[in-house]
Amino acid sequence: MKRTFIALQRALLCLLFAAIGASLFAQEARELVTNTFSWTQVINAQTVEVVPRKRSFGFMIQHRFGAVPPDEQWVTSFLGLDLPANIRFGFQYALTDRLQLEIGRGKYGKTYDLSAKTRILRQTVDKGMPISLTGYFNVAAMTDKFPAVGDNRFFGDRVTPFVYRTKHRFSYNTELIVARRFSNVFSAQLAVAAVYRNLVPEGQSNLTMAFPISGRIKVTTKGSILFEYTPVLVGQQVDQLNPVALAYEVATLGHVFQIIVASSPQILEQDLFTTPVTPYDEGYVLLGFNIARTLYVKPKKPRS
């Protein structure tokens, strides 16, 4: 399984480098479509966007409250705000207009993550390039204490006694994201995500393949409705529901604020795609919000 994931990563990297070279040559003089999405993430899913200006910064807060059923607990738990919540902070930096780096820290597992995201193809106004294509890679490390294990626990061979190792803290996510801005009102995208976890419960797959489908519908100059649905087609647990989320977004120059209704408290894709969601088919949902701020740095003036 790990060899399959490594081979998939290599294939994606080869495609990235080939496409970057082709796009730089083909799009040099064309007018590019901008603002396919307002931010680097739709709700949970990555978008084709990066921090838009070289040497600029991005900061975000992602928060998910506890899930509540469709009964009086909506009131007694104050819409889930009284329940255990999950939160992640992210810091982004644009190395170029096409490449950003990010470091994040999430409450779940006390996880730190590092990622790189690069634009490969850009949709053009003249329809010479009908889509945008972006590549994304993330590595996450859980720093919380491992839970205790008994003497009756073994590795997958059922012979070697199980002991935790440093590599068991790591998980990886590689994505290719395709998007198109169809009009000033509607944008949509599809991603292929390959998640690999070094440690999984017995009977589960190390490799998970998910296909996030998401979009944006602008309803006012600054307001939009966002949606996400993520079929998990490889590594899905038995009877696991697919993650889904809706949000209302208000976006201004440099600021994005989203109010979210979602099916999972998980934020990082390695957890979102591999952890059972709340049973939203029974009416369980949770609220949350995302806040993003972009700090633009003026381009350096050319030396005279």
Q: Is 226 helix (H, G, I), strand (E, B) or coil?
A: strand
Contacts for 281-284 with beta carbons within 8 Å, 24 or more apart? 281/241, 282/69, 283/69, 283/70, 284/67, 284/68, 284/69, 284/70
pLDDT tens, position by position, 66-89: 988 888 888 888 888 888 999 999
59 contacts 90 by C-beta, under 8 angstroms: yes
Contact between 138 and 113 (Cβ < 8 Å): yes
Q: How far apart are CA 189 and CA 112, in angstroms?
A: 27
> Which among 170, 123, 174 is positioned nearest to 12, based on CA atoms?
174
Enter the tokens of residue 168: 């068991």
pTM: 0.86
CATH pick for 2-295 out of 1.20.120.160, 2.130.10.10, 1.10.3210.10, 2.40.160.40: 2.40.160.40
pLDDT at residue 176, rounded to an integer: 97
From the number of C-beta atoms within 10 Å of its C-beta (0-12, 13-18, 19+), residue 264 rates as buried
Indicate the domain borders of the chain. 2-295
Over the stretch 230-254, which tens digit does the pLDDT of each residue have? 999 988 877 789 999 999 999 988 8
Whether the CB-CB separation of 296 and 53 falls below 8 Å is answered with: yes
Residue 12: name the closest of 139, 194, 198, 274 by CA. Answer: 194
What the block records as the tokens of 256 is: 């994005």
The confidence score (pLDDT) of residue 6 equals 62
Q: pLDDT under 50 in the chain at which residues? A: 25, 27
300: tokens are 């350096």
